[in-house]
Structure 1
Amino acid sequence: MIVTFNCLQIDLTGSIVKVFLTLKVENAASASDASQVLVAFMPTEVQHLAIVKATRAEGKRKKKAYTPLSVQESDLPTTPNGARLYSVQLSTPLKPGETTTLQVFYVLTHSLDPFPAEISQSESQLVYYRDSAVLLSPYNVLEQVTYIKMPSNRIESFTRVDPTTRAGTELKYGTYNNQMPNTYLPILVHFENNRPFAIVEELVRKVEISHWGNVQITEHYKMKHGGARHKGAFSRSIQLNASWLLTQNFLARLEYQSRPSISGTSSFKNLLARLPPRVHSVYYRDEIGNISSSHLRTDSHKSELEIEPRYPLFGGWHCTFTIGYGLSLQDFLFEADDGRRYINLTFGCPLLDTVVDDLTVKVVLPEGSKNPQPVVPFLAEQHLETSYSYLDVVGRTTVVLKKKNVVGEHNVPFQVHYEFNPIFMLAEPLMLIFAVFLFFVACIAYLHMDLSIGKAS
């Protein structure tokens, strides 16, 4: 296999690194049919690799179509430099002498290192990014070019591997010709990035399904600003005289409100959550109570909830909050051909431009549900547990899905299939009727009882 052309486009405009890779590969004339193409990642990249997608270009010009391909970690031994190999499975084998074009997209989290690690309220945030000027590949690469896109013109420094050119916010490495397999040319880019580094350390989504017509979703967030740590009077960690600290904090807040474009440029004070359409009973609160600083915009296609924490988040600061809302069951519950029911939901986090370090999704099925079977389009830890709510007798079967390093590309539909007998819907009403009946029986018995103390004859 030979890579005749490779174009690597690295997007550093946000807090998450997004890489678009175009590969034009050719199967050697003397080789057998090829059913896979290998893509290599350094061990440091594998630790931060959130998702890998691949498509194959078929057809020409206006008739060109992109076919999704399966990508999985290869069981082949690692390369001499310790790289891990991922296999892109071709939909149709590549015959000897044939060429094809692949589009590979992958996301890296926690790959931008703040430097300096601490900044004051008036300073901009600078970060480091480390990579290779050429694609790390197990194949010969005949021609290659790499583009790196930054969010601003302020680039403090960058490694030069000739030919290297800069045009505004973009760096170009290459074109490089005839690169040997496993070639690695390390580069380091130091640039300004004031985008919000919103990191959800833990998110627990609880989806409660009621066959009486409602789906209730509750999301508990533990969030932090993952950028350069804040130093100065606005910091919580400073240990000074209380009255002086209150004065300085008041002045810092006044400066932040009056000069938001200059003071605290790397902080963020609002978040946008994209919710399903036709939501109802939406609320947003933290440990203290309900927070009124939120705005909900809904239409027939989507719902957007803009929320503001009680205070702006600077580097290293944390906050916890809860979002809850209801949905109509008829929009998400369906019946399969085999007679089983299934709920169609969205995985991932509704907050835009965030990384979730640890995500737990709990789908609480109605009491009496049997044989649940989740269908998730990627690897996720799965297990079952039992939840209890009001008037439950045997408890509700709960499907628990866990995944680490979750990004926006994980916001895709997933299903939970299960069996349910409608007779169980009568359990709670019958219990209420029976409880009311016992109450009236007790009242009648009490009225007919003679509890007075009379004289002994």
Structure 2
Amino acid sequence: MDSFGSNCCCIWRCLQIDVTAPITRVFLTLKVENAGTSEVSEVLLAFPPTEAEHLAILKASVAEGKRKKKTYVPLSVNPSESPDAPNGARLYSVSLRSPLKSGEATTVEAFYVLTHLLEPFPAEISQSEAQLVYYRDSATLLSPYHIVEQITSIKTPSNKVESFTSVDPTSRVGSELRYGPYHDHGPYSYSPVIVHFENNNPFAVVEELVREIEISHWGSLQIRDHYKLKHAGARHKGVFSRLVHEILRIILTYLFHVHFQSELEIEPRYPLFGGWKATFTIGYGLPLQDFLFESHDGRRYLNFSFGCPLIETMVDDLTVKVSLIDQWFIILSKNYFALLLQVILPEGSRNPTAAVPFPVDQHLEVVISTLKHSK
């Protein structure tokens, strides 16, 4: 049983790229056919070096059923290698639910997110200037397979596009650029394109996020998030940085309850221009019974997300710190570029462990605290 090789082909490919926000989102649809003689169990996805170093999320699925009964079944995705891949390219294998026999075809849908990919140009602007950014990609998909037909569409925030590379056939309708359809491209074909367009969205980046979670004996879960936030867009130009037509104000917060969730809106003391930074802390409490459960062996476990709740915001470093009062605590770290999560467990907790959906570094430490101080 083999993965897809040179004797297999991609019948059709559609790539939808969304650059309307600071974070680039890509939806990829591949219809692949086994043109070989042996069964195949996986499909390979290739990323050029310019995208590989910015890849934050990659998911794949296959659709089952039709119309209203249509559901998407997730597929396993793992790093892979190929001796034929270009230098710096990164490959991932998508495991199929069942092997494809000779002549069979299937459609795989992938979704991936790229961060820090949009490049502000010019790099410095004044308060009254619009922010322009570069997006670099390929009109054709970098793939280890022969592609019979493919289309690439790029959606920008508005129709204000300064320039774009044309690879015939290329069309533009409003805020959408369309490359293709292209026919019969060989493996690892690459046609670089650059799109220069206006994107005035705030490029919010959390350089460091420290999350502290304390489990109370009194039935509550206390959360404190410490943020170091930066505007990573085009830098503010000029040495005189007073805000134009702005009156300074204290930080305002508004809490809204929408359906089954709460939304917090924060207005800082001053808006952030490119290159500016701000630090702040958000604290809140939650009912413990919604997050603490007991397993069949009598152990208790905390089920809580440690991602960043800010919308359209990138986190550069991810560290999860799970601690126990007067006992051990676990530190989990992942270099997303710095989220530190600290979970303080009740006194008397023993043998702490953590289960997370991605590889992390773990180590144990001891914390001792009193009513007046801790260390």
| TM-score, length basis structure 2 | 0.88
1:14 paired residue number:
21
Alignment partner, residue 343 of structure 1: 302
Worse-superposed segment, 301-310 or 74-83: 74-83
319 and 385 in structure 1: CA distance in 2 versus 1, 3 angstrom threshold: same
Alignment partners' CA distance in 2, 1:62 and 1:302? 27
Residue type of the alignment partner of 1:22: T
Deviation string 1:174-227 (CA, Å, 9 cap, x unpaired) is 000011000010000000000110000111111111233111111111111010
Would you say 1:301 and 2:307 are equivalent positions? Answer: no
Residue number in structure 2 paired with 1:74: 80
Match of 2:336 in 1: none
Using the TM superposition, give the Cα deviation of residue 384 of structure 1 relative to its aligned residue in structure 2, in angstroms: 2.6
Q: Which letter does structure 1 place at the counterpart of 2:244?
A: R
Q: 1:234 to 1:327 in 2, by over 3 A?
A: farther
How far the C-alpha of 1:299 sits from its partner, in A, is 5.8
CA contact (8 A) 1:78 1:84 kept: no
- 2:130 alignment partner, one of 124, 132, 155: 124
Structure 2 equivalent of residue 193 of structure 1: 199
Aligned to 1:154: 160
SS of 2:354 mapped into structure 1: strand
Between structures 1 and 2, the one with greater helix share = 1
Counterpart mapping for 1:270-281 below 5 A: none
Match of 2:314 among 332, 355, 358: 355
Residue 367, structure 1, aligned to residue 351, structure 2: no
Tell me, yes or no, if the aligned pair for 1:364 and 1:387 is still in contact at 8 Å. no
Q: For structure 1, list consecutive stretches of 5 or more residues without a partner in the other structure.
A: 236-248, 258-268, 270-289, 397-457
Kept after mapping to 2: 8 A contact 1:207/1:362: yes
Report the CA distance shift for 1:194/1:300 in structure 2 as closer, same or farther (over 3 A).
closer
**CA deviation map 1:290-342 (0-9, x unaligned):** 95511112366111111111111000001111111111111111111222111
Alignment of 1:118-267 (within 5 A): 118-232=124-238, 234-235=240-241, 249=242, 252-254=243-245, 256=246
Tell me, in whole angstroms, the C-alpha distance in 2 between the residues paired with 1:339 and 1:91: 35
The secondary structure found in structure 2 opposite 1:40 is: strand
Distance 1:49 1:7 in 2: 19
Query: Is the Cα–Cα contact under 8 Å of residues 64 and 70 in structure 2 kept in the other structure?
Result: yes
Distance (whole Å) between structure 1 residues aligned to residue 58 and residue 368 of structure 2: 38
**Distance apart, 1:81 and its partner CA:** 4.3
| Alignment correspondent of 2:360 | 380
Taking the aligned partners of 1:326 and 1:138, their CA distance within structure 2 comes to 50
Does structure 1 retain, via aligned residues, the 8 Å contact 2:251–2:268? no
Give yes or no for the alignment of 1:31 onto 2:37. Answer: yes
**Code of the aligned partner of 2:31:** K
The match for 1:3 is 10
Q: Compared with structure 1, are the counterparts of its residues 340 and 7 closer, same or farther at alpha carbon in structure 2 (3 Å cutoff)?
A: same
8 A contact 2:143–2:187 mirrored in 1: yes
Aligned length: 347
Give the Å deviation of 1:390.
Answer: 2.5
- Larger-gyration structure (1/2): 1
Residue equivalent to 2:327: none
Which stretch has the larger CA shift, 357-366 or 57-66? Answer: 57-66
Task: Write the distance in 1 (CA, Å) between the matches of 2:283 and 2:84.
Answer: 45
Find the aligned partners of 2:84 and 2:114 in 1 and give their Cα distance: 20
5+ long unaligned stretches in structure 2: 1-7, 318-338
Name the structure 1 match of 2:113: 107
Q: Secondary structure at the match of 1:45?
A: helix
Q: Distance in 2 between matches of 1:300 and 1:139?
A: 46
Match of 2:279 among 292, 306, 320: 320
Q: Is it true that 1:43 corresponds to 2:49 in the alignment?
A: yes
SS in 2 for 1:221: strand
Residue 244 of structure 2: SS of its match in structure 1? helix
CA contact (8 A) 1:133 1:185 kept: yes
Counterpart for residue 69 of structure 2: 63
Q: Distance in 1 between matches of 2:250 and 2:342?
A: 25
Q: Is the 8 A contact 1:6 1:23 kept in 2?
A: yes
Displacement of 1:47 in angstroms is 1.1
Instruction: Compute the RMSD of aligned alpha carbons.
Output: 2.2
CA distances 1:82-115 after superposition (whole Å, capped 9, x unpaired): 3110111112222221111111000000000000
Contact 1:57–1:100 (CA<8 Å) still a contact in 2? Answer: no
Give 3-state SS (helix, strand or coil) of 2:289's partner.
Answer: helix
Percent identical residues = 64
Q: Note if contact 1:157-1:190 (Cα within 8 Å) is conserved in structure 2.
A: yes
1 CA distance for matches of 2:160 and 2:139? 20
Structure 1 pair 364–32 and aligned structure 2 pair: CA distance change class (3 A): farther
